[in-house]
Amino acid sequence: MYNIQLVNITSFAFIPLALHYLKVVIEDDSDLSDQCMVNIFEPVDPDNIEQIATDLFKKNPELIGFSMYVWSSHKGIALARELKRLKPEVKIVVGGPDVTPVAREFMCQHQDCIDFLVLGEGEFTFKELVSVLSKGDLNDHRLSQILGLCFFSVDGFFVENQRRHIIENLDEIPSPYLTNSIDLKKEKRTVLLETYRGCPFICSYCYYPKDFGKLIHSFSLERIDNELEEIFKHDNASILLMDPTFNVPPERAKKILRLIAKYNQSSETIIYTELRVDLLDEEIIHLLKKAKFKLVEIGLQSSDRDVLKGVARTQNIERIVKNAKTVRSLGIKILTQVIAGLPGDTPEKFLKSIDFALTVDSYKIDVYQLQLLPGTPLLSKASELGLVFDDRPPRLIKATREMTEKEIDRCMRLSSLISYFYNNKVLHFLYIAACKKLDINFSELLDQHLSWIEKHGWEEFLSILKQLNLKREGFHLGRLEGWLNDSRKFVYDFFVHLFSDLDNKESVIKELIKLNFYLSLDFSSSILKMKKLFPNKDGFHINMVVKNQIDYDLASLIGFSFVKTDVNEIIFFPDLENNFLTSFNGYFKKVLVYSSVKKDSFLSNQNFVDVSLVNTIKEQSLFRDHFIIV
């Protein structure tokens, strides 16, 4: 049988849906399925190119394919060269948005290691290519008849065939979920679900709409219904609706949300998508809640109207604020995306965008350095716009007319602090509390912290991050304690400096950093597990008291809004000093600080099941001296 290996080099946290589409179009064809064996190859070590190539050839492939994205094309080129070095006769096919708009340039530059390039939507171009190769009927005439294919003729000339029209009926692509190409019983990665392709917007930094001519073409609602039913039969940790803007068009999005609500009976599954928040209406916001969405992503990019206008991105900033407030009031978290280095952007405007992200109560803030993507207006007009960038993938912006290379570098250093500390919750609430205490913007505090770190050695700071293997995904307690001991000068000493006028500041700051760590964990599903893992760690006591429909949110300890739950989880912070709360009076809402001395008394007094915990504590003289309610 003709052996095809499709290699996942793009993302290892998500199911490689694009590769599964290629797999199922072959397996759905009765003739090809008898002639071909298609396997999706998942590298053990995605960064070890030599090992990937060695492991691949153990499977005796005749055709190897992978997708090229801006973040993975360098790896794809390196892998292709290594494969050809080991076995020159193996055929290699690539596709994806990083090579489609520059097909001729890419193929001619890498003629030594790339045999075929698939343009645009590749499912049926790939199928026809496999049909030719598997029959051993490889000749220029046959290849030239395959729409959407690029190759080199026998004489060594580059050939780019006519583009294939978009797949108007996406149901022609079999579903990897309904054909069992993806085994959801075994998969633990994020499930990707695509409901349409195309984009009606024309942002000049983005290639996506250019590939489809702004046309939106969809999978049928019947297909989506069947896929959702199958997906929700299994215990999926997370699901991403990967449409570029899920709520466009809105009526279709509402129908899909109703389908999700029908099947999503679990409160544990994290389901999320990217939205145009300014285009939301009340109905779709409440449907997001009904469908149990945990998170929505906002592609803000910049809060400055002139910057947005310069990249042809129109959005209503006021409506973003209004709708984001409603979204957060329903307990749905917000991740805000910001791009550094857009034309017209300045360091001051960038910092205002970061502050805006806090205005909408962002759970996380993802900052991206502008990338000049092939096929985009920004790349074609880079010289005219005064954009200086690295011409190697991922083509990062280096300088603009408004921002020097040093200023862009500093913006990205600030984004590193956001990623490592704010996004991980390790210093999330301590950052916010410090802003309130000092009456400064978040960006000002970040700038102060960065200056402090630079003063004490930025390179040493980076080496510590590397040594502790700190990644955006999270910290564990041992690494956290590193910031309190060996690495204290970068974090702990900075906050000691900030709170120089606070009595017992060292005890307060230690407890707050620990508080941030505990709040970074998923208490709603794992509090009992946490109690087992960290019993009475450093004087902390974690307990659970069951209540009936109490208004509760663990994050109310530091001022967030309340949500409904059947379970009231209480964390005890015996060492948190009263004077800290006094210093922050007016910011904290319904702060509960429990005295460890009275822990047993509190747990034995559970006679207030049907009333609000906060109001009850106010009324119980037994607790007045041991709880602080601001």
How would you write 116-144 as a 3-class SS string? EEECCCCHHHHHHHHHHHHCCCCCHHHHH
How many Cβ atoms sit within 10 Å of the Cβ of residue 302?
Answer: 24
Residues in the chain: 630
Cβ atoms < 10 Å from Cβ of 406: 10
Q: Are residues 530 and 477 in the same domain?
A: no
Q: Are residues 577 and 608 in the same domain?
A: yes
Q: Which amino acid is at 476?
A: H
According to the model, what pLDDT value does residue 163 have?
95
Q: What is the 3-state secondary structure (H, E, C) of 260-312?
A: HHHHCCCCCCEEEEEECHHHCCHHHHHHHHHCCCCEEEEEEECCCHHHHHHCC
Enter the DSSP assignment of 422. I
- The residue written with tokens 């790939």 in the block is 126
Which pLDDT belongs to residue 209? 61
Q: Which two tokens stand for residue 436?
A: 């309130």
Q: Which amino acid is at 542?
A: I
Same domain? 446 vs 433: no
- Domain stop point among 437, 459, 476: 437
Which residues span the domain enclosing 76? 2-160
Same domain for 142 and 57, yes or no, is yes
Q: Is residue 29 part of a domain?
A: yes
What would the 3-class secondary structure string for 195-263 be?
CEECCCCCCCCCCHHHHHCCCCEECCHHHHHHHHHHHCCCCCCEEEECCCCCCCCHHHHHHHHHHHHHH
Residues 327 and 257 in one domain: yes
Whichever domain contains 283, its CATH number is 3.80.30.20
Q: 224 and 88 in one domain?
A: no
What angle separates helix 17-27 from helix 123-134, to the nearest 10 degrees?
50
| pLDDT, block means (10 residues), the chain with 630 residues | 96 93 97 97 93 97 96 94 98 96 96 97 98 93 97 96 94 97 92 94 85 79 98 90 94 98 86 96 97 95 98 95 94 95 98 96 94 95 97 94 98 93 72 79 95 94 72 45 66 79 58 52 38 37 26 29 30 36 36 34 32 37 31
3-state secondary structure of 111: coil
Q: Is residue 387 part of a domain?
A: yes
Task: Identify whether residues 365 and 421 lie together within a single domain.
Answer: yes
In sequence order, what are the residues at sequence separation of 6 or more whose Cβ sits closer than 8 angstroms to the Cβ of residue 68? 76, 94, 95, 96, 97, 98, 99
- Domains: count for the chain: 4
- Report if residue 364 sits inside a domain: yes
282 in a structural domain: yes
Give the type of residue at 498: L
Residue 620 is predicted with a pLDDT of 36
Q: Establish if 570 belongs to a structural domain.
A: yes
Q: Where are the alpha helices (DSSP H) in 468-565?
A: 477-484, 492-498, 505-519, 523-533
Q: What is the rounded distance in angstroms from the CA atom of residue 250 to the CA atom of residue 285? A: 11
Tell me what pLDDT residue 543 has. 31
Provide the residue type at 9 as one letter.
I
Is 56 in contact with 92 (CB distance < 8 Å)? Answer: no
Same structural domain, 140 and 187: no
Q: Which pLDDT score, from 0 to 100, does residue 558 have? A: 30
Strand locations in 352-474, DSSP E? 364-369, 388-389, 397-399
Q: Are residues 240 and 272 in the same domain?
A: yes
CB-based contacts of 110-117 (< 8 A; 24+ apart in sequence): 110/77, 110/80, 111/152, 111/156, 112/81, 112/84, 113/77, 113/80, 113/81, 113/83, 113/84, 114/80, 115/91, 115/151, 115/152, 116/91, 116/92, 116/149, 116/150, 116/151, 117/93, 117/149, 117/150, 117/151
**What's the confidence (pLDDT) of residue 425?**
65
Q: 535 with 421, same domain?
A: no
Q: Do the beta carbons of residue 207 and residue 378 sit within 8 Å?
A: no
Q: Does residue 411 share a domain with residue 457?
A: no
Q: Nearest to residue 175, comparing CAs of 224, 236, 116?
A: 224
Q: Is residue 165 a part of any domain in this protein?
A: no
Q: pTM higher than 0.85 for the full model?
A: no
Q: Single out the residue in 160, 178, 201 at which a domain terminates.
A: 160
Looking at residue 93, what is its pLDDT? 99
Identify whether residues 480 and 344 lie together within a single domain. Answer: no
> Does residue 261 lie in a domain region?
yes
630 domain residue, yes or no:
no
pLDDT of residue 16: 96
Q: Which of 290, 171, 186 is nearest to 227 (CA)?
A: 171
Of 129, 160, 191, the residue at which a domain comes to its end is: 160
